[in-house]
Structure 1
Amino acid sequence: MLDRAYTVLQAERGQLRGEGSRQIHSKLPAIKGKFKRIGRASLWQADLLVPVPVSDARLAERGFNQAERLADILSRHRRIPQLPLLVRTHHTGKQSFKSRAERLADMKHAFAANPDLAIRAEFVYWLESAGLQTQSQPLQIIIIDDIYTTGSTIRACAETIHELAGSLGCTAEIYSLTWARS
């Protein structure tokens, strides 16, 4: 289902650029941890997938991060690298039990750039090797999450990614794909 949503996003982005969706592009291997830039071919292609992080409490409760698993599948199928650029700064509790106003307030400062130096180094290395810091075109990033309710989680993640990209001398266009909408 997420792959079909990616195809729709790809077609929509191609139409906005005036490109035909029948055109074919080559997919270079891009596996988590082994970044290779997919050139801006005839069909729009995301550069990077970023899963929404879960809190330590939620991870302990579930035993896995569902957004990361969804991103893993899309990453393998579409050969788009994924990187956990974000961390959750605090546990926000289950959003489904909160009002829209509570959800929006809860997400303020709920995410930060991943402080893991290895992750940051991998991201910087990838940017440099792909020449993305000097390119005039923005980095195309898709945030992956399991469910979209108010959009507050996606907005908070996007703000943090924009700040991170800016601090590294590049710009980013942020998109999101979710498995479901509530």
Structure 2
Amino acid sequence: MSWVKQARSLVAPALPQCLFCGRQARSSPDMPGICLSCYSRIPWIRRPRCQTCGRHVGCPDCSRSRGPVPIRCNRSAVAYTREMREILGQYKYRGNERLTPLLGQMLDKAYALLQKEQSDRQRTGGTLQTHFFCKPIMALKSNLSRSNLWQADLLVPVPVSTVRLLERGFNQAEQLAEVLCRRRDLLQLPLLVRTRHTAKQSFKSRSERLADMKHAFTGNMDAAVLHRLREQLDATAFRGQQRPLRIIIIDDIYTTGSTIRACADALHSLCESMGCTAEIYSLTWARS
């Protein structure tokens, strides 16, 4: 019988290699790029405990913050555990760009959560329901009509400095935003410019991060970019939606929120210069 098993192994299709662990194993039906075992260990943030920053545990940062928050809320796909730190390291620092579609698909889960929450707000007059997570978009359509389904107007990736771009060869936020744009038929615009290079934030305290990121971004005044923004504003008005522009900032990880806040402040200033107002949200792949 051994020769029969050998013959079958020759003609049987090889199992795919998991992008997380590297082993050959059966893929997850929900995310074909990873095996069933790795998928089962993903620390999804299904019910954010902090409704502002999307943290899955108690959040002293938001509770002690006294100043105005420039974003409506942040939502993240996963908790930044040791395993997720390793995955992000493979992608961000070791240049494994094969992970881009998979991480973008994971970020799409956070978008689905934000979309359902905001759609619920519209339907219930501001009462937020947080029981939903990771339902397919078709399931949403069974409960909400297309006209009532909340949708962002555009995505804005956090820009990286020239130094970081030369080091990595790509902007991870831009790549993740591009995946989300394709999946959700959204527009991505580089509305932000980084004004200066900042040292890595991972070794800094919260106060140091906040000080370091202050005025690190400004609005992109490129004529072509502003023309696209004006077109988007006109399109929103044409659809009869007299409301602020819905902008989502995209980044890989939310730690103290210093980067997101600095980006949001710059976007508010840019929109004011264009004579419009904006509702600004953020989506990140991970929340520490």
TM-score bracket for the superposition, by shorter chain length: 0.7 to 0.9
Q: CA 1:166 to 1:66, structure 2 compared with 1: closer, same or farther past 3 Å?
A: same
Q: CA deviation at 1:118?
A: 1.4
Q: What is residue 286 of structure 2 aligned with on the other side?
A: 180
1:147 corresponds, among 253, 264, 267, to 253
In the aligned structure 2, how far is the partner of 1:158 from the partner of 1:130? 20
Q: How far is the alpha carbon of 1:129 from its aligned partner?
A: 4.1
Once residues 236 and 150 of structure 2 are traced to their aligned partners in structure 1, the CA distance between those partners, rounded to angstroms, is 17
Cα RMSD, aligned residues only: 1.8
**1:135 CA displacement:** 5.6
Equivalent positions of 1:26-175 (< 5 A) are 41-131=147-237, 136-175=242-281
Unaligned ranges ≥5, structure 2:
1-105, 130-139
* Residue 114 of structure 1, CA deviation: 1.1
Summarize deviations over 1:87-138 as a string: whole Å, max 9, x none.
1100011110111111000111000011322112221233234427x96311
Between the aligned partners of 1:149 and 1:75, the Cα distance in structure 2 is 24
Q: Quickly say closer, same or farther: Cα 1:126–1:16, change in 2 above 3 A.
A: closer
SS of the residue corresponding to residue 143 of structure 1 reads strand
Q: TM-score, normalised by structure 2?
A: 0.55
Which protein has the larger Cα radius of gyration, Structure 1 or Structure 2?
Answer: 2
Aligned match of 1:23 in 108, 126, 144?
A: 144
Contact conserved, 2:245 with 2:277, CA < 8 A, in 1?
yes
Q: Deviations over 1:24-66 (max 9, x none)?
A: 42xxxxxxxxxxxxxxx21110011000000010001000000
Question: Is contact 2:233–2:245 with CA below 8 Å preserved after alignment?
Answer: no
The structure richer in helix per residue is 2
Q: Give the equivalent residue in structure 2 for 1:12.
A: 117
Q: Distance in 2 between matches of 1:43 and 1:130?
A: 15
Structure 2: distance between partners of 1:141 and 1:129: 14
CA distance in 2, matches of 1:62, 1:12: 35
Higher RCO, Cα 8 Å, sep 6+: 1
Give the C-alpha shift of residue 166 in structure 1: 1.2
2:260–2:282 CA contact under 8 A, matched in 1: yes
Give the aligned residue type for 1:164: L
What amino acid is the match of 2:256? T
Letter in 1 for 2:263: C
Aligned residues: 166
Is 1:2 aligned to residue 123 of structure 2?
no
Task: Give me the whole-angstrom Cα distance separating, in 1, the residues matched to 2:231 and 2:178.
Answer: 21
1: CA distance, partners of 2:235 / 2:122: 26
Return the alpha-carbon distance in structure 2 between the equivalents of residues 60 and 122 of structure 1: 27
Cα distance in 2, alignment partners of residues 150 and 164 from structure 1: 23
**SS of the counterpart of 1:109?**
coil
Identity over aligned residues, as a percent? 63
CA distance in structure 2 between the aligned counterparts of 1:116 and 1:58, rounded to whole angstroms: 22
TM-score w.r.t. length of structure 1: 0.86
